Amino acid sequence: MWTLGQTGVQLTCVPATRRCRVFRGSLPQSDGYNLSPVRSEVPPPLDILPSNVPDFPPRPPVRRRRLAGVLGPVLAVAAVATLLVTVQAFVGVDQLARWAASVTSTIRPPGSGPPESRNWAGYTATGGTFTAVRGTWSVPEFAPDSAAGADAIWVGVGGVRGNDLIQAGTQETVSGHGSTDYQAWVETLPEASRPVPLAINAGDSVSVSLEEQSGGDWLIAFVNNTSGKSYQLTTHYGSSRSSAEWVVEAPSARRGRVLALDAFRSVSFTQAATVRDGQTLSVAQAGGRPVTMIAQRGRPLARPSALDADGAGFNVLQSL
């Protein structure tokens, strides 16, 4: 997702044609948006485009995975057998057995670890029909000397297993020159994000919820718990309803390049819940799985903590 720097200016790009259109129009109202296309060659600030579905690192081809799955255990058994024969005379069978029990208790089978993404960090839940999601968080604060970067904090439905995603949240864009832009927004992929007329500032507690009404209509509600102001709108969207998400995201620029994260340090989600198959569930009850954001070479950029005792809260911690 991404909203360009000026209010009422949106950029929509079609990757297949490598063409973009700039839209100017009034702020969104509860009954829709009145936008009209204009021609422009002016690049947007930070060159930011709408957000993407999770960019999971590519997996090896199936044949390679199967071969690795067969050879891996065989080689492991051979190595362990060699180690047992070599070391047995020095430490004894009983001590070897204790060491083996300790090591094997920490081994995870291939593919059992938490998923990794190049642009998402947080929790996702799949398996069922999701018709609502909500969450509360505090808007990050940035020092005057913070480096340039951006982040988006949001809740959404769909996107893990497809290209559809309805989402809403807050956006923080640090200029690198002592100023930070804060904005609340809503987005329905593949359309660009749209700002909503709710003022937010650093340190504000914000609650956001999405709920399907009927016939593909979604009620999206924002509450600034600090200022007491709120805003809501209804939009029509054909969602797969296949997942729910609570995410801190690194936005993407043209040609899919993921931008540098700002120094948000930590974002705390609370009251995180979803409605799956008609039942209201916490992240834990919905089987939420953690997603770690990684750099190109696999270095962690941000990772979620374990869920709180109530199953509805967690922190996304940045690796600085």
Q: What's the pLDDT at 319?
A: 86
pLDDT at res. 55:
58
pLDDT at 14: 43
The residue ranges of every structural domain in the chain are 9-56+115-318, 62-104
Kindly give the confidence (pLDDT) of every residue in the chain, 320 residues in length, as a single tens digit, with 9 standing for 90 and above. 444 444 444 444 444 444 444 444 433 443 443 333 333 333 333 334 445 555 555 555 555 555 555 556 556 555 555 554 454 444 454 443 433 333 322 223 334 456 898 899 999 999 999 999 999 999 999 988 888 898 999 999 999 988 899 999 999 988 888 888 899 999 999 988 899 999 999 999 999 999 999 889 999 999 999 999 999 999 999 999 999 999 999 887 666 677 788 889 999 999 999 999 999 999 999 999 999 999 878 889 999 999 999 999 999 999 86
Q: In degrees, to the nearest 5, what angle opens at C-alpha 172 toward C-alphas 169 and 174?
A: 170
Q: How many CB atoms lie within 10 A of CB 215?
A: 6
**Structure token digits, residue 64:** 């390679």
Return the pLDDT at 7.
Answer: 43
The CATH number of 9-56+115-318, from 2.60.40.420, 2.40.50.60, 3.40.50.620, 2.60.120.700, is 2.60.120.700
Decide: pTM greater than 0.95. Answer: no
- The pLDDT value recorded for residue 178 is 87
CB atoms within 10 A of CB 293: 28
